Amino acid sequence: MTTPLIGVTTYLNQAAWGVWEMPAALLPAAYPALVQRAGGLVAMLPPDAGATAAEAVAARLDGLVVAGGADVEPGRYGAEPHPRTGPPARERDAWELALIHAALASGTPLLGICRGMQLLNVALGGTLHQHLEGHIKDIGVFGTHTVTPVPDTLYASIVPEPARVPTYHHQAVDRPAPGLTVSAHADDGTVEAVELAGGGWTLGVQWHPEMGEDTRVMEALVRAARS
């Protein structure tokens, strides 16, 4: 059976290694490690330009992961920046939005992680809470909290019981986009997972599965990609 190729989007940041300091396409190693543990091959997807490039990428992939990262630019969902909203990553926003639309159009299985879930919601017309308290343990430190699935959803079919998950975010889905179903909540009511209602395999999770031991969500993406 062919091992599916899973594309994972990357950061684009100034970085230093050895004697070099220059712009670099970056991806925390936990992302490819999770894909590999779940049975997939990994392709890193640095920002590119335009719908045509995104469509070509989606056509060659068996599955797509939109990774976590910077806050989505508020103008993308018609809002003014909150004082606690971070600086925009416009090149990455544009590329990942194009990839999301290309994946949805082609039926490529899609998993959005943290920012990736938020961007999926924005791509389809939803909005975001720009600042929440209580979902970051400390700066640069992942915390954990319980996520409870909504019965009769794709997510509940993958993880049917409440689960402790690694978390690090200060933004979240506010108004879910038309066509998206909320499929998990935190104890405080924060939307923790969304999925595309009807047809295709599209799921967004607000937490960071790559930072934990539970591979079920990624394994489900890999199964969908394989089929």
Residues acting as catalytic residues = 114, 208, 210
What residues contact 18, with CB distance under 8 A and at least 6 apart?
none
The interaxial angle of helices 30-37 and 216-226, nearest 10 deg, is: 60
Task: Report the C-alpha gap between 172 and 227 in whole angstroms.
Answer: 31
In the numeric block, which tokens belong to residue 5?
């190729």
Q: Are strands 11-17 and 20-26 parallel, antiparallel or unpaired?
A: antiparallel
DSSP single-letter state for residue 141: B
Residue 200 and residue 104 in contact, taking contact as beta carbons nearer than 8 Å = yes
**DSSP labels, 24-84:** EEE--THHHHHHHHTT-EEEEE----HHHHHHHHHHH-SEEEE---SPPPGGGGT-PPPTT
Q: Are strands 128-129 and 110-113 parallel, antiparallel or unpaired?
A: unpaired
Residue 120 and residue 66 in contact, taking contact as beta carbons nearer than 8 Å = yes
